[in-house]
Structure 1
Amino acid sequence: MYQYTDFDRQFVRLRADQFRDQLNRWQTGKLSEDDFRPLRLQNGWYVQRYAPMLRVAVPYGEIASRQLRVLATIARDYDTPEAAVFQEAMTGQGKLGTTFLPKNCAHFTTRTNVQFNWIPLSKSADVMDLLASVDLHGIQTSGNCIRNTTTDALAGIAVDEVVDPRPYAEIIRQWTTLHPEFAFLPRKFKIAITGATEDRAASAWHDVGLQLVKNAAGEVGFKVSVGGGMGRTPVISSVIREFLPWNQIMNYIEAIVRVYNEQGRRDNKYKARIKILVKAEGQSYFDAVEEEFRQIVEIDGGPHTIPQAELDRVAACFVPPVLADVPAIDPATLTAQLQAQGAEHPAFGRWLARNVHAHQNPQLRAVTLSFKRPGQAPGDATADQLDALAALVDKYSAGEARVTHDQNVLLPWVHGSQLLALWQEAKALGLASANVQLLTDMIACPGGDFCALANARSLPLAQAITERYQDLDELDDIGEIDLHISGCINSCGHHHSGHIGILGVDKDGKEWYQITLGGSDGSRLSGPAVAGKVIGPSFSAAEVPAVIEAVLTTYRDQRQPREPFVDTVRRIGLDAFKQAANAVRIPVAA
């Protein structure tokens, strides 16, 4: 993991001090609500349907056990709603009503951040001090700026990796933090980077997608894409450079963002994302970027060219850890031992096949701990679970974990000889469900239960589907499938990229849901990135679980041997699924 320098640490702590002063001035009436709002947003503090929401940055997903323990403290001591506010929420006052309001927990997001939904603003400065004590913060997790750079959860350990993307992600993080020119862009701006042949970072759905590659001469560079995004207008990014030398990446990003900052629309927030500009201008935008890049390099001297010494300094933070008290085992012997243990403990064998991933070091494995189970919102972790997770991370993964795009947690440094012991402990904590990449390993945003922007609730639907599909044999038979749920068109649940997508919509003040099929995030499981297609008019909340069941039944009836769900959808088209879905509609009483 990257180790903060004295400068990094002082920067974060001074930022926390600055926020405390801003909060005090707002509380004493020296700052108006309008003046305080952008200041709190710049530090990750939103005001949602019932209470503030804090978004904590976890750059490229890497998180230490000591940081998890502080998040547990925040969940336990601060993520507690005021009694009157919670009572109002539980009694369903307001537009939507509610049935599912988890508290005293953290929420892992699709962009590898962590959110809290109930911390009062009166305690926000204390929370920022706690975060700063372990090198965490909320800087640029909100606002029209360059947000948290994300990458593959298997970065640095994936067997298909060409170049480790983490040093580049860290350099980009440092350069973009409080960049004076790009603090007030037309809209938010998101970058994803991958160094593997499989795109597990969903980079094609980002404003800028970066793929590390090597050319015929073995030189490292970037394939650069621009203009992706979800929301009201889902767009897959377009390749703007097939190969850019690695040391020029910040100069090139500056050219991309500078042209966007100059040409992007500011009169309509729904048309202000860079995807709209790229779609409208096409080659003209690409040409403007190339000319801006030329001027940055040739006239300005390439001020953000990355020196080899700086890359080496940052890369030195990402060397594999030394694991103590673990034996050196011949890889073939280790594989045989795991197979024997799996045969002796079938549930462990299922977990090995589903939640344990290959590693560059044949002695090690990467392990996904599932935060998807009945009675708990997808991606939520209670204070006790966070403390227990920190203990597992210390014991089995050299003190390091990764927050994943799929709202789970990955342990990247687990020795193969310790997998059985880890599984036993994780099982006792409810974190060993062997459902990774199966139907119940779904993505869901907080939806209308929390978010003021949402049209409909996501969490009750997620619970209903999770409870219906608890038979692991049935889940295995259905096979690998991405189910994504968003409470509104802003697409925080990434419904566009789901094999099955569920989108909450408002119809006359009531909650309804559109169903899409055939989407992809660009991974091996899904194929090239593409937006799903709507299969008909919207459905009521009561109908959705039955619609999902009808869609899956149709798949099981129509599939060819070993054919994944998304391949069946693409082969036979949508008509059969539309007919099955419409057949379960509940008649509306006159």
Structure 2
Amino acid sequence: MYRYDEFDQQFVQARVDQFRDQVQRRMAGELTEEQFRPLRLMNGVYLQLHAYMLRIAIPYGTLNSHQLRTLAAIGRKYDRGFGHFTTRQNLQFNWPALKDIPDILTELAAVEMHAIQTSGNCIRNVTADQFAGAAADEIADPRPYAEILRQWSSLHPEFSFLPRKFKVAISGAAHDRAAIRVHDIGLQIVRDEAGRIGFEVFIGGGLGRTPFTAWHLRDFLPEEDLLAYCEAILRVYNLYGRRDNKYKARIKILMHEAGLETVREQVEEEFERIRDGALKLPHGDIERIAAYFAPPVFETLPAESAAQAAAEAADPAFRAWVRANVHPHKQPGYASVTVSLKPVGGIPGDATSEQMEAVADLADRHAFGEIRVSHVQNLILAHVRRDALKAVYDGLVAADLATANVGLASDIIACPGLDYCSLANARSIPVAQRISERLGAPDRQAEIGPLQIKISGCINACGHHHVGHIGILGVDRKGEEFYQLTLGGSADETASIGDITGRGFSTAEVVDAIETVVDTYIARRQSADETFLEAYRRLGLQPFKEALYGAA
């Protein structure tokens, strides 16, 4: 993974020192909360319902074990003994005291971490495939390009005060695990006929109150033009993006109002003007950054592990975990392990300090000291020997982290909702807990098969409900919490926005409604192999609507 150079370290520490002074002035009453707000947001500090919240950047979701242990220690010392992993591959602490945040940032800086650009109208944390550098289906590792974009975008003087926040994601495989089509810029790594690496470029995806899947902007962008082309997109957006209405300020609205061809013409014109300038990426610089992401030294192993096979035969629970949580690796004899942060009845994305330390220990023993965070709020050990899978599983069992549910009904994305967020209309966490309890029995999840349930507590869609196979949106009706359902959404290479079923359901009704949708799918699917999304796209909304509300 990337290591700070001298400039990086000085830059981050200077930012910490600056913010420490700002916090002291706020606490002394020299700054009002309104004056302090833009300063704290530039450092990842939000004011939520009950306390300040600190959002920490985890660039492209990659951590080392020392960094994870530091997060665990911070959670224990300054928070309530846990952290919350988010859909931007970041981590949030929900209860830090304002006076302690500069000390937290100092401890983070000591392990090459920070909270810069995790909020505000700037280019946010660049995200990537959680299996980057390991996946068997990978075209190329997206992390070097994500790091290049991170360095380019950090405090970019032209893009620090955009019309609205701006999000970039990169996928290194044809199967999109980074949700690139619901980002402001989505980059799909491809190769041309000569075998050169480049990017298929998507623009204007996004969720929130006006959801759009991205427009296809370019078939092939050579890797050396990555920064110049992204700069051209940002310049066009910065110039023409609306600033009169924050609800219409995202680039997706510009795309919708101006049209693809108009925006493409403007971007290409600006790109031609700057493409051969200082932003042209020399191949040597690409190789230099890529060297930080060189794969570990793998052993030569047989593709199949006799130890794994024997352990699966002896332990059905381990076998179920392997089937759900273990992903193919490009290196024979290795696998990638997803550590589910979605225990049945638990809070999606939360991990205690003790659990973070347990994962760090397992990473050191079995995964070259490396951990990933996925945009679906789980952790990943990317490089695990197959003959060590049972030892990893046993360690996860001891830490209450061995839930075998990745991609299944209880692997739910949920935002913090009204339990924490001042913008929320309804609670997300209790609904997620009740759904996982209703559908989380192993036999029930096996019967249902792959299913993505995503919950947002308000229209800002931090829980990505629009692209859930089943999406749930919390709304307020005269002081009561109701939940609107959407069906058929997807965030992968077949991205789609879910269809609204109809009127919302009360807190008491919503879990029954979800089960009705699931039961309708099971009754109407053509075979046990037809997934929920496949069945929905074949059947359409009507049979589900009739099951929920009755025949018209």
TM over 0.5: yes
Deviations 1:335-371 (A, max 9, x none): x442232111111111111111110111211000111
2:536 maps to a residue whose letter is: V
Q: What secondary structure sits across from 1:455 in the alignment?
A: coil
Counterpart residue number, 1:69: 69
| 1:309 to partner: Cα distance | 1.4
Helix, strand or coil: the match of 1:436? coil
Q: Report the Cα offset of residue 576 of structure 1.
A: 1.8
One-letter code aligned to 2:343 = R
Q: Which amino acid aligns with 2:311?
A: Q
1:155 to 132, 137, 141: 132
Equivalences for residues 270-281 of structure 1 within 5 A: 270-281=247-258
1:25 maps to 25
CA contact (8 A) 2:3 2:112 kept: no
- Measure how far apart 1:375 and its partner are: 4.5
Question: Which amino acid letter does the alignment assign opposite residue 318 of structure 2?
Answer: F
Partner of 2:232: 255
The match for 1:449 among 402, 419, 431 is: 419
Map 1:163-562 to 2 at 5 A: 163-282=140-259, 283-297=261-275, 301-322=276-297, 328-332=300-304, 334=305, 336-523=306-493, 528-561=494-527, 562=529
**Post-superposition shift, 1:583?**
5.9
Q: Hey, what's the Cα distance between the residues in 1 that align with 2:407 and 2:237?
A: 36
What are the superposed Cα offsets for residues 396-455 of structure 1, whole Å, 9 maximum, x if unpaired?
A: 111100001110000011111111111111112111111110000010000011000001
* Structure 2: gaps spanning 5 or more residues: none
Superimposed CA distance per residue, residues 483-524 of structure 1 (whole angstroms, 9 cap, x where no aligned partner): 00000010000000000000001111211110010000015x
| Alignment partners' CA distance in 2, 1:227 and 1:329 | 44
Aligned AA (2:289)? V
Question: Any idea what the Cα deviations from partners look like across 1:36-77, whole Å, max 9, x if unmatched?
Answer: 111110010000011111100000000111111111111111
Q: Which one is further off, 5-14 or 139-148?
A: 5-14
Once residues 467 and 29 of structure 1 are traced to their aligned partners in structure 2, the CA distance between those partners, rounded to angstroms, is 47
| CA displacement 1:96-127 (0-9 Å, x = unmatched) | xxxxxxxx310010110000111111211111
- What is the aligned length? 549
Is residue 564 from structure 1 mapped to residue 531 from structure 2 by the alignment? yes
Which residue identity is paired with 2:362? L
Deviation at 1:328, TM superposition (A): 4.3
Q: Verify: 1:130 aligned to 2:103, yes or no.
A: no
Identity among equivalent pairs (%)? 53
What is the Cα deviation at residue 579 of structure 1? Answer: 2.2
CA distance in 1, matches of 2:451, 2:314: 28
2:217, 2:264 within 8 Å by CA — same for their partners in 1? yes
8 A contact 2:409–2:450 mirrored in 1:
yes
Matches within 5 A, 1:4-43: 4-43=4-43
Matched residue SS, 2:218: strand
> Does residue 112 of structure 1 match 2:78?
no
Helix, strand or coil for the counterpart of 1:181? coil
* Letter matched to residue 134 of structure 2: I
Cα distance in 2 for residues equivalent to 1:264 and 1:338? 54
Retained in 1: the 8 A contact 2:122–2:164? Answer: yes
Residue 582 of structure 1 and its aligned partner are, at CA, apart by 2.7
Give ranges in structure 1 of 5+ residues lacking alignment: 81-103, 585-590
CA distance in 1, matches of 2:91, 2:454: 18
Once residues 413 and 17 of structure 2 are traced to their aligned partners in structure 1, the CA distance between those partners, rounded to angstroms, is: 35
The answer to whether the aligner puts 1:54 opposite 2:54 as a matched pair is yes
Check whether the contact 2:344–2:410 (CA below 8 A) recurs between aligned residues.
Answer: no
Task: Report runs of 4+ in structure 1 exceeding 4 Å deviation.
Answer: none
AA at the equivalent of 1:399: G
Provide the aligned C-alpha RMSD in A. Answer: 1.3
CA distance in 2: counterparts of 1:278 and 1:583, whole angstroms: 38
- 1:270-311, Cα deviation, whole Å (9 max, x unpaired): 0000000011111111111111111113xxx42111111111
1:94 aligned partner? none
Distance 1:329 1:38 in 2: 53
1:222-257 superposed Cα distances (whole Å, 9 cap, x missing partner):
111111000111111111111111011101111100
Following the alignment from structure 1 to structure 2, what is the Cα–Cα distance between the partners of residues 374 and 472? 10
Which digits, 9 at most, give the CA deviation of each residue in 1:452-486, with x for residues without a partner?
A: 00010000001111112231011011000000000
Tell me if 1:580 matches 2:547.
Answer: yes
Map 1:72-91 onto structure 2 (within 5 A).
Answer: 72-80=72-80
Contact 2:59 2:125 (C-alpha < 8 Å) held by counterparts: yes
Contact 2:409–2:440 under 8 Å retained in 1: no
In 2, Cα distance between the equivalents of 1:329 and 1:239?
41
Other structure's SS at 2:336 match? strand
1:44 corresponds to which letter in structure 2? G
- Which secondary structure does the structure 2 equivalent of 1:278 belong to? helix
Structure 1 residue matching 2:158: 3-state secondary structure: helix
- Write the letter of the residue equivalent to 2:27: Q
Q: Distance in 1 between matches of 2:43 and 2:27?
A: 17
Contact 2:490 2:497 in 1 (8 A): yes
